[in-house]
Amino acid sequence: MKRFYFLSFALILTILPFQAVAQDSVKIGCVLPYTGALAWQGQETFRGVQLAAEMQNKRGGVHGKKIVLVKGDSETLKTAVTETERLINMEGIKIFAGWYSSSRAKVATTVTEKYGAIACIVIAVADDITERGYKYVFQPQGRATLWGELSAEFVGKEAAPKLGKKPSDLKVAIAYEDSDFGTSISVAFARKAKEYQMNIVAQEPYSLSALDLSPVVLRIKQANPDVLALTPYVRDGILFLQQAKDAGLSPKVLICPGGPLANDVFGEKLGDDMNYMLVTTCASHDVRKEAFQPEAWQALQEFVERYTKEFKKPPTNDAYHGFQGAWTFFHYGLPRAKSLTPDDIEKSMRSLVLKPGENITTFGYQAAPMGHKNAGANLIGHPNVFQWQKGSIGHLVYPKEFAKSQLMLPMPAWGQRAMK
Amino acid sequence: MIGQVLVNGILLGGIYALVSLGLTLIFGVMRIINFAHGQFLMLAMYATYWLFQLYGMDPYVSILIVVPLMLVIGMGAYRMIIQPIIDASEMTHVFATLGLNLSLQGIALFLWQGDFRGIRTSYSSLVIHLGPLYINIPRLIIFLCAIAAILALFLFLKKTYTGKAIRASAQKRVAAQLMGVNLSKIYMIAFGIGIAIVGLTGAVLMPIYEVFPSVGSLFALVAFVVVVLGGLGNLGGALVGGIVIGVVESVSGVFIAPALKEGVYFIIFVIILLLRPTGIFGKAVIR
């Protein structure tokens, strides 16, 4: 009898998580790392996605149906796969918007493609995600090649003159966490830097889970670079910068080609020492209103207001990413589709073209066609370069047509970076 | 450069030693591998963080609260979870502590979300210079705490009645009981002390590391390596094992490649175990 009650209880527990959804709703899977080492990023990205869904629902939803987000936890690569599969098989979901982390996005989209589900990757930029010829995978925020290349281009065109040097005079060190994300961006940065004839004096990958990054710091310090391109996640980024400060490693230019250094937690931890550091990211903060169409500007402001009201702080970089990727999908891609089947959504996303300023990003949208090396990637997903100034990352310095702030270089030594 | 590398490695070894001290004590006494060790560290770090945020209490001052708090938590965890299964199979111990691991992580995530929470103190980046060498003060403090904790624990186990009872229970359970030792109470105290040491560790780590629900997992793996390398249950072995791992990691990270440093110390770990299966200072256990 006890066994019967136990089995019944267990059965009820397995059924409970299934979300009963009304006929006037559409379920969209949102697989993100809600637990584990990337939980903070996953949480922030989800906030952006959720606000995009709420804002679109306020505008009538998609095809008259309300968007209902169904969460799946991609704490590890393995759970990225199993959770995606669970949502497809158990919840019947065929539309996805999610996957922070390139490694997780890559493995999970093998599942979505297998089942013919549409996958909009809100923020994961590794090139090889879209190098597999998958029909149903879209990467609206651009890809690592564009992020890495733009960062190197920025160093060559904008940073070098500020140092009174030609690009070929610059000594450049590259340090990065060694997953798909850090590697793909850093490889692209190095490639472009060599085109500008910059001297790569150190290239140091490291494990994301390392508890000590002093070996990386010491190797780079020995190379004595002018420029350091650092692509970490958050925890390791803070650790690296603290240990760089201990060691007195202070290049004249420090740029994060991949985005995480834009998170406020860096400012909270390092204070004025974050000033002068540069971050490449596609977030749309500190942008000029004149560069946007009125509807896009209004949507962007609404997102900022909603986020600030709900979470009592300005949107984080990852929240912007989540919102931007999801908004492109929920507001443009899905409504344009003839129906909400994966094939019709695919046609819509493939044919959608948005010029810079027409969307809530500075770079517009145009998906690479089938047959392209990166089918599904946003061909014009060029990110922006921001600089920490006066304790805030919200200072866009490049591209200049969107920028409100002035670039300030060279970066002073640790402890001398206070700005009035 | 080699001098700095060695300094960094030794200080890192102090972190590893302090993290693994409680684990080796618990195993040495009760023969239980506490897979929730990392999550207790996480709780201690959160406690330190909240004392700082809410009351402005310096992490080093908060040791006075966090250590007794974790002692009580440890004893409570033993009473509720470990004691009922103390005589069960090793597999039961593993699953019970793994379950505790996942539960604590889930509770932390529910209460505090996945946000990275750090403390900014005036001394977090304080460095002293000895010629060409630099030494980060918080890391030096951790190293000194590791030595102090080992000495304090050694004296406690050697000189106090409770300490002797703990040692007797570790050596021969049945004989200790026959000598009048209340095994249940001694195990509870030992477990509590092990977790109290984790409390000390959490407090002194906060000036240099952020806390988030899964931070414990980052430290737990290396703690197990240090404990096994030093010899299960051996306090001095935890210090030596920690320093060996720290120095190997630091040297290989600089002179081979940072991406390979964890791999190198695991290879050395395996080699040492092949040559000495009980660890550097461990003793064989006859069952």
Query: Interface pTM (ipTM) of the complex?
Result: 0.90
Which tens digits make up the pLDDT trace of B158-216? 899 989 888 888 888 888 888 888 888 999 999 999 999 999 999 999 999 999 888 99
- Residue B16, pLDDT > 50, answer yes
The mean pLDDT of chain A is 91
Helix (H, G, I), strand (E, B) or coil at B236: helix
Best-predicted range by mean pLDDT (A351-360, B58-67, B105-114, B229-238): B58-67
Any chain A CB within 8 A of the CB of B12? Answer: yes
- Residue A414, pLDDT > 90, answer yes
The beta-carbon neighbor of B5 closest among A218, A265, A270 is A218
pLDDT, average across residues B49-71: 96
Q: Which two tokens stand for residue B25?
A: 């004590």
Give the number of other Cβ atoms within 10 Å of residue A366's Cβ.
18
CA distance A213 to chain B (A): 8
- Residue A36, pLDDT > 80, answer no
pLDDT at A214: 95
- Residue B287, pLDDT > 50, answer no
- Residue A10, pLDDT > 70, answer no
CB contact under 8 A, A212 and B214: no
pLDDT, average across residues A247-251: 96
Helix (H, G, I), strand (E, B) or coil at A356: coil
pLDDT, average across residues A165-181: 94
DSSP string, A96-137: EEE--SHHHHHHHHHHHHHTT-EEEESS---GGGGSS--SSE
CB contact under 8 A, B113 and A40: yes
User: If you measure CA to CA, which chain A residue comes closest to B4?
Assistant: A218
Which tens digits make up the pLDDT trace of A48-72? 999 999 999 999 999 999 999 999 9
User: If you measure CA to CA, which chain A residue comes closest to B110?
Assistant: A35
pLDDT at A9: 60
User: If you measure CA to CA, which chain A residue comes closest to B135?
Assistant: A246
Chain B residues in contact with A207 (beta carbon < 8 A): 258-259, 262
Instruction: Give residue limits of the domains in chain B.
Output: 21-215
Shortest CA distance to B191 belongs to which of B71, B284, B91, B90?
B71
pLDDT at B188: 93
User: If you measure CA to CA, which chain B residue comes closest to A414?
Assistant: B125
CATH topology of domain A145-281+384-398: Rossmann fold (3.40.50)
CA distance A335 to chain B (A): 33
Instruction: Give residue limits of the domains in chain A.
Output: 21-142+286-382, 145-281+384-398
Shortest CA distance to A88 belongs to which of A53, A115, A120?
A115
Look at the alpha carbons of A79, B110, A231, A380 in this order and tell me if their dihedral is positive or negative: positive
Query: pLDDT above 90 covers what percent of chain A?
Result: 71
pLDDT, average across residues A189-210: 95
Chain A residues in contact with B136 (beta carbon < 8 A): 243, 246
pLDDT, average across residues A19-42: 82
Pair B20, B226: CB distance under 8 Å? yes
Q: Which residue is listed with tokens 């020492």?
A: A273
The beta-carbon neighbor of B214 closest among A39, A206, A268 is A39
Chain A residues in contact with B261 (beta carbon < 8 A): 210, 215
Higher pLDDT, A6 or B118: B118
User: Within its chain, how far is the Cα of B257 from the centroid?
Assistant: 27
Q: What architecture does CATH give domain A21-142+286-382?
A: 3-Layer(aba) Sandwich (3.40)
pLDDT, average across residues A366-375: 94
B residues 72-111 closer than 8 Å to A (CB): 105-106, 109
Any chain A CB within 8 A of the CB of B223? Answer: no
Write down the pTM of the prediction: 0.85
CA distance A100 to chain B (A): 14
The beta-carbon neighbor of B214 closest among A36, A211, A414 is A36
**What confidence category does residue B110 fall into, taking pLDDT thresholds of 50, 70 and 90?**
confident
Shortest CA distance to B104 belongs to which of B139, B68, B74?
B74
Which tens digits make up the pLDDT trace of A102-161? 889 999 999 999 999 999 999 888 888 999 999 999 999 888 888 999 999 999 999 999
- Residue A338, pLDDT > 80, answer yes
pLDDT, average across residues B92-113: 89
CA distance B263 to chain A (A): 11
**What confidence category does residue A213 fall into, taking pLDDT thresholds of 50, 70 and 90?**
very high
The mean pLDDT of chain B is 89
pLDDT, average across residues A237-243: 95
Q: CB within 8 A of A195, min separation 6: which ones? A: A152
Distance CA A138, CA A326 (A): 11
- Residue B41, pLDDT > 50, answer yes
Distance CA A309, CA A289 (A): 21
Any chain A CB within 8 A of the CB of B4? Answer: yes
Q: At what angle do helices B137-159 and B235-255 cross, to 10 degrees?
A: 160
